[in-house]
Amino acid sequence: MRILVLGGTNFIGRHIVETLRGSEDVTVLNRGTQSVPGDDVVQLTADRTAPASVAEVLTIGFDAVVDVSGTEPEHIASTAPVLRALGVSRYTFISSGSVYDSRTTKAPFPETSTIEGDPIWGEYGRAKVECERLLSECGFEELTVLRPPYVYGPGNSEPREQFLWSRLLQGKSIFVPGDGSTTIQFCHVSYLAEVVLAACRGQFEPGVYNVGDEHGLSFDSYIACLAKAAGLPVTGVSHVLDPRIPARDYFPFRNYSLVLETSKIAAATSHAIAAIPLAEGLARTYDWFQAHDPLDYVPTPREEELADGADITHP
């Protein structure tokens, strides 16, 4: 198959390209600021905020398109109509669990929820909602929208698991929002890439799918899983009870429960793909970071303040 990946050089996109290029003919469209993975991958250079540059390089159709870089409505408006006019019918869009709104729906969020974007994500969630809406109006006969929660894995460019491992390795304090019971959910990047490949091959029905682990886990349980993957004890955990202190000032996640209902994708792909258990996925990820990243401990200014005695309690 001839597959076009929009994006494809950052964390999620790179893993998707690596998975696709093992069996398919892959072309990547990006701004050219980063090289594509593999000499067998064709690179097209265009800026999705500049429609003329997109139209100039997109002159032929593809069997399938994977959109990793569509984060703003203008990205869709500049690119999707061009591809549809070129005869593309199979389009897979990487959206986000941020489209759900906890004000109207309780977690775990099902795909049937009204999507408005929760205010906690700022403009990002609302922009993803608008991207989905625009794509639904383009006329793609096989449109698949994938909504993952937190994506993790080797090479993660977001300082999440590595942020906490660096503190566990050095025996430093880990400050956790609230009482540690906030629930979050994960999706291993390799599992997401395998689902994308199956979507490109038409191995399950087009539609909207949450993609991730079966269940969520609390902040405290997540830290315990990270410690186990690294063969380390859990020490130095303190709970920050003051809600006025922004969680992201000292912790790699917002104090917000993000858990999706994932039974639909599990049923659709059960014959070919299984989600990677979190313990296994974290072990793989830790090994990668140990080989490629020093996992240096650099405290945030807020962590330093908390260490001096802000309003916290020890679990």
pLDDT given for residue 81 in this prediction: 97
Q: Give all domains of the chain, ordered by start, each with its CATH number.
A: 2-147 (3.40.50.720), 161-185+215-257+279-313 (3.90.25.10)
pTM for the model stands at 0.95
**In terms of pLDDT, which residue wins out, 39 or 99?**
99
Does a cis peptide bond (omega within 30 degrees of 0) precede residue 108?
yes
Per the CB < 8 A criterion, the answer to whether 51 and 45 are in contact is: no
pLDDT given for residue 34 in this prediction: 83
Pairing verdict, β 312-313 and 237-240:
antiparallel
pLDDT in tens, 221-251: 999 999 999 999 998 999 999 999 999 999 9
Band of the pLDDT at 315, cuts 50, 70, 90?
Answer: low
pLDDT in tens, 109-120: 999 999 999 999
Does residue 41 register a pLDDT over 70? yes
Percent of the chain with pLDDT over 70: 98
